[in-house]
Amino acid sequence: MRIPKLGEVKFRLTRPLGGRIKTAAIRRDAAGRWHVSFGVHTGRDAAPPNGQPPVGVDFGVKQAAYLSAETEPRLMPHTLTKGEQRRLAGLERRRERQIREAKRHCGGKYSNRLRRTLRAIAELKARQARRRADFTHKLTTDLAKSHGLVAIEDLRVKQMTRSARGTQSEPGVHVSQKAGLNRAVLDNAPGERRRQLAYKWPAYGSELILVPPARTSQTCGACNLWDPASRTTRDTFACTGCGHTDDADHNASVVILGRAFPDQAGAASAAGHCGVQHASTGQARPATPRTCTGSTREPLNPSSAVAQSLSDIEGYKESLQVTAGRMSKNKRVSGLPRDTPKLSA
């Protein structure tokens, strides 16, 4: 593989590419390992509808996912064992102590012991990320395969996980509690699950529908009544109008599925029939893969000899040259910024 400003670099091919190479993206994980991802054009069309039943999915914090068609939630296994959690906590305490001593006696220069500590922390973080990604891929693939329509909330994760620290003149309240909630939300990766569903559903004959997330946890799935008093506890939902009781997350998944079919659900986007105030749910919309206008990845030049020699095939055809896109200064191939301490191999 030929990389600008670096030349030809060997890499290990873990699976056949199966099509014409269009783009290549290079990234570096927390442990310092480099990976290259190829975007290929296979020439395949979207699969026909699979005829499976629809489902509403509520991505939570305590529970990874609750499906409207199931009675038990999907739980994500712990990304770190108890022993690994204790080791990570000890390594982080050691890191802070070593950094404090380096500032006090060495002018901030990192010692070899501190570099080894940073390397051990990075290995545990990378292992945690791999386990999280494995569960996410298995969950999204099963949802796309086993259901003809998947309805999820149109969440804005960036706004949800915004810090509550505030400013120096107007400091926030409950900052540590909000920080813990943000970590729990990001650990479940709702944005990554949505991204994977958006590109997997055409291949499995499914469909992804994004519904407005407003008040799904306070609306009854049986009568569509919105009342905050119905959410008696974190895990219990008891409707004040019709008396329907259910697990709060399962009830939310039923509401999400109903908002995907507003006509069949009795105009779920309007007020219900229980005679009290109801939530305005807006309109559900089909999910389409997002395109990033500021992407730094560049396709191969169609006029080049390499691009012309590659054809759309179902097997692997080795390319003579792959040109990766430009990378930012903070993630350039040549290394990290000079002011960042580098870890030795």
pLDDT of residue 100: 92
pTM of the entire structure? 0.72
Beta strand 54-58 with 66-67: parallel, antiparallel or unpaired? antiparallel
The residue ranges of DSSP E strands in 10-104, in sequence order, are 20-28, 34-41, 54-58, 66-67
Spatial contact of 190 and 159, defined as CB atoms under 8 Å apart: no
Q: Which of 139, 137, 159 is nearest to 58 (CA)?
A: 139
What is the distance between the terminal CA atoms of the chain, rounded to a whole angstrom?
23
Q: Structure tokens of 341?
A: 């301490």
pLDDT of residue 280: 41
Which residue in the block uniquely carries the two structure tokens 């939630």?
73
pLDDT of residue 321: 38
CA 45 to chain centre: 26
Mean pLDDT by groups of 10 residues along the chain of 345 residues: 88 89 88 89 86 92 90 90 95 95 88 94 92 94 94 89 84 86 87 92 92 90 90 90 90 92 50 35 58 43 36 37 41 44 44
pLDDT of residue 90: 96
Beta strand 285-286 with 208-211: parallel, antiparallel or unpaired? antiparallel
Beta strand 149-153 with 208-211: parallel, antiparallel or unpaired? parallel
Active site residues: 58, 153, 249
pLDDT of residue 63: 87
CB atoms within 10 A of CB 180: 11
pLDDT of residue 325: 40
pLDDT of residue 186: 87
Distances (CA, A) of 233 to 84, 181, 207, 228, 272: 32, 17, 33, 11, 23
